[in-house]
């Protein structure tokens, strides 16, 4: 089983309007409610690929109950007293997002969650920790979860950003997927438009305790610096669609590959194909299985000379 963690889940509301004009009133033509959160996307993609996944995290209040009703993956969430946040995305062709801040989680609620998470680790092979931290959690919350996974012998992927990522690096996550900002911060002098620059920044992150650093290059694929060397994976052609959720599909594919002990080239091939298949999916946070199957054989994976 692959365990996904969503500490700051959301009730995602998508509003369709004709055209968003600031400082005017808009009649919303359709409202779609969805269970939102990066870890839920990861679990959805895994389920779509026939993999057994369980989603855990925190839910609270009326919005939390609504998210629980809307869940489309096996789940074991812990309850908090605060109100799960809403996210409102207004779509008029392009998307404008409004992120509520999320619940204030108490120390007792966090301890109870860690207990639940630790119990779930006993039956997990891989853990995926995704997204932002709700208020009230210590900045090193992910360090606690990474350490617990390592102690349980469960490989752990951490897909977050900012201080939450920074504070968890020394706990030694098996894989992180920093964005361009984080790469730039860790290696200010590197030219991230070049493969060498990305590898230099990834090496700096690995020195801080991380196993593998995965750097997305958007439609140009991935660069990975792993304990077994550096790789570049490039899709056969560009896929048009909505890039939201492509990173979650990428992470899901890696977790699945680890679960099946697939070596790096195959894992990265699947990660690139899954990202592209997420872009091609009409639903953000989901994956088009046929696109995944058709693309994965065309992904070119090359070993890079380490610098």
Q: How far apart are CA 270 and CA 261, in angstroms?
A: 13
CB of 158 to a copy of itself, least distance (A): 22
Is 248 among the residues known to form the active site?
yes
With binding defined as CB under 8 A, does residue 65 bind a copy of itself?
yes
Name the one range near a copy of itself by CB under 8 A: 59-67, 150-158, 258-266, 271-279.
59-67
Contact with a copy of itself (CB under 8 A): which of 76, 96, 218, 228?
Answer: 96
With binding defined as CB under 8 A, does residue 26 bind a copy of itself?
yes
For a copy of itself, the closer of residues 22 and 306 by Cβ is 22
List the structure tokens of 184. 């730039």
With binding defined as CB under 8 A, does residue 137 bind a copy of itself?
no
Contact with a copy of itself (CB under 8 A): which of 97, 153, 163, 218?
Answer: 97
**Token match 């996210």: residue?**
87
Name the one range near a copy of itself by CB under 8 A: 23-31, 71-79, 138-146, 147-155.
23-31
- What is each CA distance from 21 to 24, 25, 88, 156, 265, in whole angstroms? 6, 8, 16, 43, 47
Q: Strands 229-234, 300-304: parallel, antiparallel or unpaired by DSSP? A: antiparallel
For a copy of itself, the closer of residues 35 and 271 by Cβ is 35
Contact with a copy of itself (CB under 8 A): which of 74, 81, 98, 111?
Answer: 98
Asked if residue 67 lies in contact with residue 84, where contact means CB atoms within 8 angstroms, the answer is yes
With binding defined as CB under 8 A, does residue 136 bind a copy of itself?
no
CB of 17 to a copy of itself, least distance (A): 7
Q: Counting Cβ atoms within 10 Å, is residue 33 exposed (0-12), middle (13-18) or buried (19+)?
A: middle
Q: How far apart are CA 160 and CA 278, in angstroms?
A: 19
Asked if residue 42 lies in contact with residue 4, where contact means CB atoms within 8 angstroms, the answer is yes
3-class secondary structure, 37: coil
With binding defined as CB under 8 A, does residue 163 bind a copy of itself?
no
Q: How far apart are CA 281 and CA 258, in angstroms?
A: 24
Catalytic residue among 12, 174, 248, 286: 248
With binding defined as CB under 8 A, does residue 106 bind a copy of itself?
no
Q: How far apart are CA 14 and CA 85, in angstroms?
A: 14
For a copy of itself, the closer of residues 148 and 279 by Cβ is 279
Residues between 76 and 95 that touch a copy of itself (CB under 8 A): 86, 88, 90, 92, 94-95
Residue count, binding to a copy of itself (CB under 8 A): 29
Contact with a copy of itself (CB under 8 A): which of 18, 76, 81, 99?
Answer: 99
DSSP of 69-135: HH--S-B-PEEESSPPEEEEEEESSSEEEEE---PBPPHHHHHHHHHHHHHHHTT-SEEEEESPPPB
Name the one range near a copy of itself by CB under 8 A: 27-35, 146-154, 158-166, 287-295.
27-35
Contact with a copy of itself (CB under 8 A): which of 29, 189, 193, 240?
Answer: 29
Q: How far apart are CA 126 and CA 270, in angstroms?
A: 17
With binding defined as CB under 8 A, does residue 101 bind a copy of itself?
yes
CB atoms within 10 A of CB 128: 30
- Residues tagged active-site: 248
* Residues of this chain that bind a copy of itself (CB under 8 A): 13, 15, 17, 20-29, 31, 62, 65-66, 86, 88, 90, 92, 94-101
């Amino acid at each position: 089983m692959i365990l996904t963690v969503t500490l700051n889940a959301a009730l995602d509301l998508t509003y369709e309007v004709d055209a968003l004009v600031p400082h005017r009133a808009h009649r919303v033509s359709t409202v779609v409610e969805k269970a939102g959160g990066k870890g839920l996307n990861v679990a959805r993609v895994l389920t779509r690929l026939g993999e057994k996944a369980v989603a855990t995290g925190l839910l609270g209040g009326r919005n939390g109950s609504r998210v629980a009703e809307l869940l489309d993956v096996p789940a074991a969430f812990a309850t908090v007293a605060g109100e799960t946040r809403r996210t409102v995305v207004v779509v008029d062709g392009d998307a404008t997002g409004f992120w509520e801040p999320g619940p204030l989680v108490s120390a007792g609620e966090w301890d109870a969650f860690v207990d639940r998470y630790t119990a779930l680790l006993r039956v997990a092979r891989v853990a995926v920790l995704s997204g932002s931290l709700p208020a009230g959690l210590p900045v090193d919350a992910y360090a606690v979860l990474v350490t617990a996974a390592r102690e349980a012998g469960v490989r752990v992927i951490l897909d977050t950003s900012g201080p939450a990522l920074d504070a968890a690096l020394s706990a030694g996550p098996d894989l992180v997927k920093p964005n361009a900002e984080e790469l730039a911060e860790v290696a200010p002098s590197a030219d991230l438009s070049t493969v060498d620059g990305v590898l230099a920044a990834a090496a700096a992150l690995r020195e801080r305790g991380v196993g593998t650093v995965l750097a997305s290059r958007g439609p140009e694929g991935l660069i990975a610096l792993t304990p077994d060397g550096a790789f570049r994976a490039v899709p056969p052609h560009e896929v048009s669609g909505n890039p939201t959720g492509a990173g979650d599909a990428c992470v899901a594919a890696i977790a699945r590959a680890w679960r099946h002990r697939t070596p790096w080239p195959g894992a990265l091939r699947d990660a690139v194909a899954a990202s592209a298949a997420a872009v091609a999916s009409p639903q953000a946070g989901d994956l088009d299985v046929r696109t995944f199957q058709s693309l994965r054989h065309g992904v070119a994976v090359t070993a890079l000379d380490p610098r």
